[in-house]
Structure 1
Amino acid sequence: MISAYFILTLFLTSLLESFVPVVADSSLKVEVSNLRNDKGDVIFLLYKEGASFPDKELRNSFKKETGVIKNDSAIAFFSNIPPGVYAVTVVHDENDDQILNRGLLLPKEGIGFSNYQSIGLTNRPQFSKASFRISKDTCIHVKMIYMK
């Protein structure tokens, strides 16, 4: 026989669970424009807090998407993103080799980071500066930077 205590506990537990908000995953739309040409594709990398950022080998991202260039612009959509702190890196992969080609020190291809308008010796990309919070569907624009 089921006790009244058990029934009451079950009832109260189910009642409380109905009031606990469910945090849904979100989506992120990343846009880039003013690409210097329509060659290749654009690699979009989404990094979680605590990840190796920036990632020279483009391997440590949480999610990766490739965008087709149309009219000097590209867009990527990331879905099923749990709430948290993230940063984005974008690479204009002009020769479609899936890496960021570099000269002696500087990238030969375009690169961009969330929240960055320029990069240099005194303005190196850091997760703390590039990061932003995702808790709902979000759209950001990343500026492409060409060093060469």
Structure 2
Amino acid sequence: MPETNDVKVPSGVIAWHIGVGTSLLVIVVAWWVRAVTRQAPEPADQSSCVRAIASVVHIALYALLLLVPLLGWLNASGRDWPVKIAGTLHLPQIATPDSPGASIGEWHSASATILLVLIGLHVFAVLVHQFLLKDHLLERML
């Protein structure tokens, strides 16, 4: 993202960023609905330590997948920027310029960085399971 402190109306990369973020929010909510309504597969045969680490990482991933776009929406609303899903459907303003929403951009950025690190860790773990442990975990995920 370019510097946004003096931007009054989002355009270019900033408008694209907001559109992608709101689209991801819709996808995550739809994915959560699917996850809640389908039957989960049986737990994998793993040590309790590996299972605990996987649970912590999954909970953090799920929370951040929701938190990152919500913090972005809060930040954009606090800057009085229009927030639209995929650039078309207007979302309500959930903050005002005199609220803390406008100054929450650092939280949005930090949580996005943590999310990217966890995604990388998750991909690495899947590759270890697929090619080193050969325990068919990837098949269970899909």
TM-score computed with the length of structure 2 as normaliser: 0.23
Q: Greater share of strand residues, 1 or 2?
A: 1
Q: Which has the larger radius of gyration?
A: 1
